[in-house]
Amino acid sequence: MRRSSALRRLLICTVVTLTVAAALLLLILYDFIGSAYERERARTTQSLRDVIARLHSDTMHGEAMGAALLMGLNEPLIKDMALEKLPRDDHDTLIRLVAAKRLFGADGIFIVNAAGIIVAHESDIKRSTGMDVSQRSYVKQAMANRTSVYPGISISTNDKVFYIAAPIHEGQTINTPVIGTLTMRIPADPIIIRHIENMPGNALLVCPEGIVFASTHHDWLFRSSKPMTKKHMDEVRKEKRFGTLLDHNPPMTLPFNIEDTSSVIGGKRYAITREFFDWNDLGGLWQLVVIQDSTKWVSKLDIAIIIVVAVIGSMIFGLLLYIILRQRWHKTQDNIRIKKLSSAIESSPIMVAITSVDSVIEYVNEAFVQTTGYSMAEAIGNKPRLLKSGLTPEDTYRGLWEALRQGHSWKGEFVNRRKDGSLFTVVSTITPLMDEGGMVVNYVCLQEDITERKNMLTELHQHVKELELFNRLAVDREERMIQLKREINDLHERIGIPAKYKIVS
């Protein structure tokens, strides 16, 4: 009965605990769903701000803008050209512009005088010297002593370009009168696409007139964010930001309103996030907009996974006590095995040393102490070179480290020196120990003293050599005796006396 009552109490506690765990997990699920939208929108907003900062870094605060400002302050040729003290498209001035154009990857660079007329133009396409650009936003801003970036469509090529414009000053400070404008024309697509192509969802760069200037969704390119009135369309065409692209047909309207926070497109709900930023464009502020499928922020799969996790978590919670007890039992068994292994290593006649990856000795067993004469305190913290005798070939060490660097074990012989100065020879096996990530954390060295065996082999080889020498001397003596017998028999034959010795071949 007592055992049954204990089991019943345990069952009740388990049920209550699992119920509380399930309730907590359901609250987590509710909080996850409720805050997912806020988290994703905040993340997207930060991503927009980061991209805008990088766009500014490449344009308003880029090297090309810095160079244009300096040239407008410090270049006498540029100033003389703006004041028309030199003929239009002066050769020396164009050479100077060519250098700047190549340096910053521009396809054109031109100087505009105070009246808004281009007086020098270096271009990869065609020169527009003499053109009146006084009404262009970037010229008006420069004449008002302000730098600006003006994205637009080139009339010559229909390519997207940045007009990087800075004022040309009469003197060498920004407080002196503005006498003209220096403008670099730089391809815009490589810069824009590089920054917006990795944004979450589909990105749109919208100009002050409300028309999509760039987009990762091709079908939305050059569309209007809202229906265009005739008056608005006339202003857009007059501005010439889009070259001749919109001269005949007004742009189509986007299938959503970028001023909304969300919109249903094609049966799906999309979140709309946007940020405004300033290029000192007289038209107004630009917008960077991101359209995201908000159904993916908290998908049905995510909800199903969380529910499954809640159920599994409750089950796991109930099993934790069993697992903890089981792990403690296994840990006890592991400690017993470790003690057995440690005892075996300590009592082994084989020398054992463990070093760090820097070859600093961290452990030695008793056999090492007895063989080398160094105590554990003397060995630990030292390096194996304390046993080095200088008689081991350097090739042996090179082969050792080449194998260890490749993560392989190495086996070979060392001639070592004991603490008392006597020599001994060991056969050594060195193995790298690696962690779970495959990084070497220690080296284990097993060494067997084979000095006596080596001495016996040396003695055996000496006896074999002596025996071979004795056999060789015996063979030489026998051959000499046969030769002498033959010579005596030859003399007997010449004298006419019968041969004295019988020679067996």
154 and 205 both lie in a single domain: no
Task: Note whether 65 and 161 are same-domain residues.
Answer: yes
CA dist list (Å): 191 to 107, 186, 187, 196: 14, 9, 8, 9
For 324, counting Cβ atoms within 10 Å of its Cβ (0-12 exposed, 13-18 middle, 19+ buried), the class is exposed
More confident: 134 or 18: 134
* Same domain, residue pair 173 and 198: no
Alpha-carbon Rg for the chain in angstroms: 46
Distance of CA 361 to the CA centre of its chain: 34
Q: What is the pLDDT of residues 231-285, one digit of tens each?
A: 888 888 888 889 888 888 889 999 999 999 989 988 888 999 999 999 999 989 9
3-state secondary structure of 294: helix
**Residue 48, domain member (yes or no):** no
Tens digit of each residue's pLDDT (9 = 90 or more) over 144-162:
999 999 999 988 788 999 9
Inside any domain, residue 473: no
Considering the domain boundaries, does residue 72 fall inside one? yes
Q: Among 449, 478, 498, where does a domain finish?
A: 449
Within a domain: 94: yes
Give the count of domains, the chain: 3
Pairing of strands 262-265, 268-277: antiparallel
Q: Do both 79 and 171 map to the same domain?
A: yes
Find out whether 204 and 215 touch, Cβ atoms under 8 Å.
Answer: yes
Is 158 found in the same domain as 68?
yes
Q: Which two tokens stand for residue 501?
A: 């010795």
Q: Are residues 412 and 438 in the same domain?
A: yes
Model confidence pTM above 0.85: no
Q: Are residues 100 and 213 part of one domain?
A: no
Asked whether the CA dihedral 176, 178, 184, 188 is positive or negative, the reply is: positive
Say if CB 168 and CB 179 are below 8 A apart.
yes
Nearest Cα to Cα of residue 107 among 63, 180, 159, 166: 159
Report yes or no on 23 lying in a domain. no
Does residue 11 form part of some domain?
Answer: no
> Is residue 28 a part of any domain in this protein?
no
pLDDT digit string (tens) for 172-224?
999 999 999 999 999 999 999 999 988 888 999 999 999 999 999 999 999 99
Rounded to whole angstroms, how far apart are CA atoms 14 and 8? 10
Domain shared by 85 and 130, yes or no: yes
Instruction: Report yes or no on 154 lying in a domain.
Output: yes
pLDDT for 281-318, tens place per residue? 998 999 999 999 887 776 677 667 767 776 676 667 66
Q: pLDDT band at 495, cuts 50/70/90?
A: confident
Across the chain, mean pLDDT equals 85
DSSP state of 144: T
Q: Domain range holding 265?
A: 192-296
Q: How many CB atoms lie within 10 A of CB 5?
A: 9
Residues 209, 290, single domain; the answer is yes
d(CA 189, CA 24): 51
Q: Residue 442: which H helix or E strand, with range?
A: strand 440-449
- Under a CB-based contact definition with an 8 Å cutoff, are residues 356 and 362 in contact? yes
Q: Are residues 197 and 179 in the same domain?
A: no
**CATH of residue 232:** 3.30.450.20
